[in-house]
Structure 1
Amino acid sequence: MDLRLKTEEFNSGTHITISGSKSESNRLLILQQLYPGLQIENLSDSDDTHHLQGALTSDDTVADIGHAGTAMRFLTAFFATQEGVTKVLQGSDRMHNRPIEILVNALRDLGADIEYEKKEGYPPLKITGKKLTRNKVSINGNVSSQYISALMLIAPSLEKGLEIELVGKITSVPYINMTLQLLHQLKVEAEFKGQVIKIKPKLTVEKQTVVVESDWSSASYFYSIIALSKIGSSVKLSAYKKDSLQGDSCLEEIYKHFGVTTTFKDNSILLTKEREHSSAVLKENLKNAPDIAQTIAVTCFGLGVACDLTGLHTLKIKETDRLEALREELTKLGADISVTNESLHLKPSIKIKENIQIATYNDHRMAMAFAPLALKVSIEILEAEVVTKSYRSFWKDMLSVGIQNVTIK
């Protein structure tokens, strides 16, 4: 499905409810398997979460998780601890080219039985669950935080708990802290001090219900829409907390650069364009929130603002090489952009080319990040259905704010 986007009139004041955070939901689903008394409300409606749920509830020996990287990492650790269960984890072609060796090595160090079905260091994996008795492991701190969180999630179910030493520089700390805080909500004794995470064993937890906060990454596209709109424009989003566990909540501060204010009230946020954007170069280190890099880069381009974004090394191994994908697609629109292995540098734009086809590379965030440009020019999004990976109602919600779309095929 390809979509041509255009905007005749922005519907200011629209109220949109966004489904629960994929990051929180997927962590809680693993914990729910370990502690059946846990109930979850406002679960994410993303493909990733559906894949994870399916793999957890199916008796099939093969679990296909598609493009769901979080599911692959979390399930690898979970099934490694399930005595008597043998599972083959597989996914899309892209997933079979996303490295997982660092996590597998850490689990093997704990005694796990994991084999590579095809290419060494990559899925698919054959996992034979067993009792893991070792309680200390080391892992690089600058790798995907999902590897670290995968170990943290199984830690309280191990008879001796787990001590994780993070070697070297640590990135994506908010996602590690998110996992830590969710463990704390279940009264698991866990701490993260310096380079070491210590988690004590806990066999049972009291029955309780956890309400998942809505996804801040999904909110980023509305921040971009308001930034690209005229002064006075607004949109209301539910359900969000001031004291969010999600690293992407830094959007509130970053988008002040573009004249957007965030008002918290009654579990919602009101985004308002209160003033013109700053003409200064936006300089941000996004090591703790790499998923919003695409949105920010497109916002800057749409407003003619220069930016230097760093801390983006994990974007090279996402659904696509997101840095190269951004360079390619923004260049087609007329941008002067360069990228390195961990940074993006955009110069001020003068004019945006119209009716350009934006390739999405099987990456949901490419489709969603570029959609707000429809406020400036007509634009075509190829393979637009890819948004279901994290945000199934995205195009419906775009219609509600006035971004119209016509299906081309």
Structure 2
Amino acid sequence: MDLFLTYNSQLAIRNSQLSITGSKSETNRLLLLQALYPNLKLENTSNSDDSEVMLKALQNSQLPTPNSQLIDVHHAGTAMRFLTAYFSIQEGREVVLTGSSRMKERPIQILVDALNQLGAEITYEEKKGFPPIRIKGKKITQNKVSLSANVSSQYISALLLIAPKLEKGLELILEGEITSVPYIKMTLALLNEIGVTTSFVGNKITVCHAELVSASQLIVESDWSSASYWYSIVALSSIGTQITLSSYKKNSLQGDSALVNIYQDFGVETTFNSDNSITISKEKKHNLLPFSHNLKDSPDIAQTIAVTCFGLGIACDLTGLHTLKIKETDRLEALKIELTKLGAEISVTNDALYLKSSLTIKENISISTYQDHRMAMAFAPLALKAPIQINEAEVVSKSYPDFWEDLKKVGFSIEEI
């Protein structure tokens, strides 16, 4: 499904209100914990494809199966990592985890090696180091392991989530610079919230064994990554634009809540309301100075920020982006290709993006999305500046299925072509 987007500049956005589904990151962590501790009850869970895939796989894991079971997570990277750890401790169950062609190109060896060091039994079905993988669930008695920490925090979180069910808990030593620390802290905070004792000192994380947990009901905060596209829309709009989103916490566990501070440079202010909603508003003209930021703790908003800067005609240097090379696509290369189509001067390295200022945006450009939900949503706000086409627009269902309908609610014209 390809979509053509336009916006009537005479229709300034005023006081729009939207409800954003629960965080995919929190939901997938809590779904795994719920599978380990069935007394947990969850509210406001994400309706994303990734979370639906995760939930279905976990539900199927409760069903009896005579032989090995094939589980296809499609494009869901989080599900692949978390389920690898989960099934490694399901005694007596054998599964083969697979995914899309792109998933088979995304590395998993660091996590597999760590689990096998602990005593798991995981082997590769095709190419070493990559899915599909065969997992024979068993009781794990080892409790100490080291892990390279500069690739993906999801490997670390996968181990931490199963740690309280290990007989002796887990002592995890992180080697090298730690990537996406907020996501690790999110995992530990959720463990703490259900009553599991943890510590994170220096490069060592400890999670204690917990046969039972104390919490029974948890409410998932709405997704800050999804909020990023609305921050971009407000930044690209006229002064006085306001959008209210629910439901968000001032002291969020999500690293992408960094949006609140980052978008002040683009003239956007955030008000936290008493009903757990936020109002984001364009209060002043954006800063014309080049924007520079290290996004190692929140790489998922890099695409949104790069497009915002291009739309505002300001230069930006974004660093700390090495994990974007192994996402749904190589996001740095994808950004370079698509922004260049629109008239940008841009260069990328293995971990950074450099965009020169430009006051011209080419119209009616067709944006390829590379089966990446964030490419589709990051580029959509540019319709405020120039008509734009988004190819394979249905890919947004991976994290934000209601995105296009929500755009219509604030005045975007969307035509299927």
| Fold agreement, TM-score > 0.5 | yes
Match of 1:306 in 2: 315
**AA partner of residue 33 (structure 2):** L
Structure 2 contact 2–392 (Cα < 8 Å) conserved: yes
In the alignment, the residues of structure 2 paired with residue 163 and residue 401 of structure 1 have an alpha-carbon distance, to the nearest angstrom, of 49
- Structure 2 CA distance, aligned partners of 1:377 and 1:242? 34
Q: 3-state DSSP class of the match of 2:243?
A: strand
Contact residue 87 and residue 93 of structure 2 kept, 8 A: yes
1:82–1:130: 8 Å Cα contact kept in structure 2?
yes
Preserved contact between residue 146 and residue 174 of structure 2 (Cα < 8 Å): yes
C-alpha displacement at 1:143, in angstroms? 1.6
What is the rounded CA distance, in whole Å, between the counterparts of 2:176 and 2:305 in structure 1?
28
Q: Residue in 2 aligned with 1:285?
A: 294
Distance 2:411 2:325 in 1: 33
CA deviation vs aligned residue, 1:261-302 (integer Å, no higher than 9, x gap)? 000002000000000000011110000000000000000000
Q: In structure 1, give the amino acid aligned to 2:52.
A: H
Is 2:237 the partner of 1:234?
A: no
Matches of residues 160-179 of structure 1 in structure 2 within 5 Å?
Answer: 160-179=168-187
Structure 2 residue 65 is the aligned partner of structure 1 residue 63: no
Cα distance in 2 for partners of 1:329, 1:200 equals 47
Partner of 1:40: 42
1:382 partnered with 2:391: yes
Contact 2:268–2:282, Cα closer than 8 Å, also in 1: yes
2:378 is matched by which residue type in structure 1?
Answer: A
Aligned with residue 22 of structure 2, among 20, 23, 44: 20
Q: Map of 1:8-407 to 2, 5 A cutoff?
A: 8=8, 9-58=11-60, 59=63, 61-265=69-273, 266-407=275-416
Post-superposition shift, 1:207? 5.0
Q: Could you tell me which amino acid in structure 1 is paired with residue 184 of structure 2?
A: I
How far did 1:141 drift?
A: 1.3
Classify 1:29/1:328 alpha carbon distance in 2 versus 1 (closer, same or farther; 3 Å).
same
Tell me the SS of whatever aligns to 2:168: coil
Q: Is the 8 A contact 2:193 2:215 kept in 1?
A: no
**Matching residue of 1:6:** 6
In structure 2, give the amino acid aligned to 1:269: I
TM-score norm. by structure 2 comes to: 0.97
Task: Give the SS at the match of 1:261.
Answer: strand
Q: Distance in 2 between matches of 1:269 and 1:404?
A: 25
Provide the C-alpha distance between the structure 2 equivalents of 1:400 and 1:357, rounded to a whole number of angstroms: 23
2: CA distance, partners of 1:347 / 1:391: 30
In 2, Cα distance between the equivalents of 1:232 and 1:207?
42
Runs of 4+ displaced beyond 6 Å: none
SS at match of 2:87: helix
Q: Measure, in 1, the Cα distance between the counterparts of 2:22 and 2:334.
A: 27
Q: CA deviation at 1:206?
A: 2.9
Measure, in 2, the Cα distance between the counterparts of 1:11 and 1:251. 20
Shifted more, 3-12 versus 384-393: the winner is: 3-12
Question: 1:10·1:403 contact (CA, 8 Å) conserved in 2?
Answer: no
In the alignment of these two chains, the number of paired residues is 408
* Alignment partners' CA distance in 2, 1:105 and 1:225: 43
CA–CA distance in structure 2, aligned partners of residues 174 and 142 of structure 1: 14
Structure 1, gaps ≥5 residues long: none
* Matched residue type, 2:24: K
Q: CA offsets, 1:122-168, max 9 Å, x none?
A: 00111000000000000011120000000000000001000000001
Please give the alpha-carbon distance, in whole angstroms, between the structure 2 residues aligned to 1:301 and 1:19.
28
In structure 1, how many angstroms separate the alpha carbons of the residues matched to 2:359 and 2:91? Answer: 61
Between the aligned partners of 2:54 and 2:177, the Cα distance in structure 1 is 30
Find the residue that maps to 1:345 and give its secondary structure: strand
C-alpha distance in structure 2 between counterparts of 1:30 and 1:184, whole Å: 15
Indicate the RMSD between aligned Cα atoms, in angstroms: 0.7
Q: What is the Cα deviation at residue 114 of structure 1? A: 0.5
Q: Secondary structure at the match of 1:62?
A: strand
Contact 2:194 2:215 in 1 (8 A): no
